[in-house]
Structure formats: C-alpha cells, structure tokens
Amino acid sequence: MNGMGVPRRLLGEGERVVVQLRTHGKALVAPVLALLVLAGVTGLAVALMPEDLAPVGWMALAILVAAGVLGWVVVPFARWRTTTYTLTSRRLITRRGILSRHGHDVPLSRIVDVSYQRSLGDRLLGCGTLQLRTASEAEPLVLPDVPDVARVHLMVSELVFGPQAQLAGGPR
C-alpha cells in the first residue's frame, strides 16, 4: 500500500489499481481558517487577560484552545486523511473512518449509471461529486469532493461501458 487506499494484498488476482484518490483538499479550508481564527482569538485573550486571573485563566484558555483545535482542526483533517476512493479494474472501493473504518466495494459489473456534478466553486477548484447508480440499490452511491471528477467519471465510464460508450452515448 502506498499510504492511501487499499493494500495490494486485498486485490484479486489480475486486479489492478487504476486510480487512488483522497477527497479534494478543499475539505481542509475550513480547518485552516478555524486554526487562524483560534490563533487570533488566543492572542487577543492572552493580551487582554487580567493578571489576577492569570493562573486559572491560562489553564481555562489552554483547555478551550485544545478543544477547539481538536474539534475544528484535528478531526476534520483526520476525516480527510482517512477517506479514500480506489478505482480498480474490477470495482470501486471507498474507505472512511477515524476510529472505526467503513468500507464499500462496488463491483463495476453492477454499475448502471455514472454521472457527476460540479458547482461553480467546484469547477474553480477542480473537483466535484461523482454519482454511481447500481442495479441493486435504489439510491446512488455519492462520492463528494472527488478531485478532477470529469477525468474520474471518464475512467469509470470506460471501465464499466467500454471506451466507445462515451462516443456512442451509452452502454454497449
């Protein structure tokens, strides 16, 4: 394994990894902004803290800052770091979870529709939401914040429907 996705030992014989991805880095914008705001508020609190409150105030401030960093920075970063999408020659594998892991494997042979959506912001950032509909599930599998979603959409479509499907407008 290369630090992301699925270990090679979990691949079937002849199965190859086509692409391994993490969710787009835009998921880290809010945690970075939260860290900057926390730093600013902490600096302001330190500057304005009365001397008679210093011992208790420092402890309270440290606890609040640690809780803020944990909840608004560390957890979102860990969530981003542990969410992966792996497309192989036979299936799409999703993995997520910090303390407990959740996985979903979708055989490519079960996929009947592949689509994607990109908001203006997603287009500017180069990502989007990939939706896969399978023959057996009523709701599509939705993969948010997929980097270069148009390219991934094309890869999935070619693996599922064949390279000529894009030109012909549908499955073979």
Paired strand residues for 142: 131
Contact 35, 65 (CB under 8 A): no
Tell me which of 165 and 154 has the higher pLDDT. 154
pLDDT at 170 over 70: no
Cα–Cα nearest to 76, from 127, 126, 130, 35: 35
Q: Which amino acid is at 91?
A: R
With cut-offs at 50, 70 and 90, classify the pLDDT of residue 164: low
Query: For residue 55, what pLDDT is reported?
Result: 83
pLDDT at 142 over 60: yes
Cα 134 from chain centroid? 21
Is the backbone of residue 88 left (phi > 0), alpha (psi -120 to 50) or beta? beta
pLDDT at 8 over 90: no
With cut-offs at 50, 70 and 90, classify the pLDDT of residue 9: confident
pLDDT at 136 over 90: no
33-38 mean pLDDT: 97
Question: What residue ranges do the domains of the chain occupy?
Answer: 28-79, 89-168
Return the H-helix or E-strand segment holding 117: strand 111-117
pLDDT at 169 over 80: no
Query: For residue 132, what pLDDT is reported?
Result: 96
Structure tokens at 88: 């192989």
Contact 5, 93 (CB under 8 A): yes
Write phi, then psi, for 49 (nearest 5 degrees): -70, 125
Most confident option among 8-12, 45-49, 150-154: 150-154
Q: What is the pLDDT of residues 43-69, one digit of tens each?
A: 999 999 888 888 888 899 999 999 999
Query: For residue 82, what pLDDT is reported?
Result: 92
pTM: 0.78
Q: What is the pLDDT of residues 88-112, one digit of tens each?
A: 999 999 999 988 889 989 999 999 9
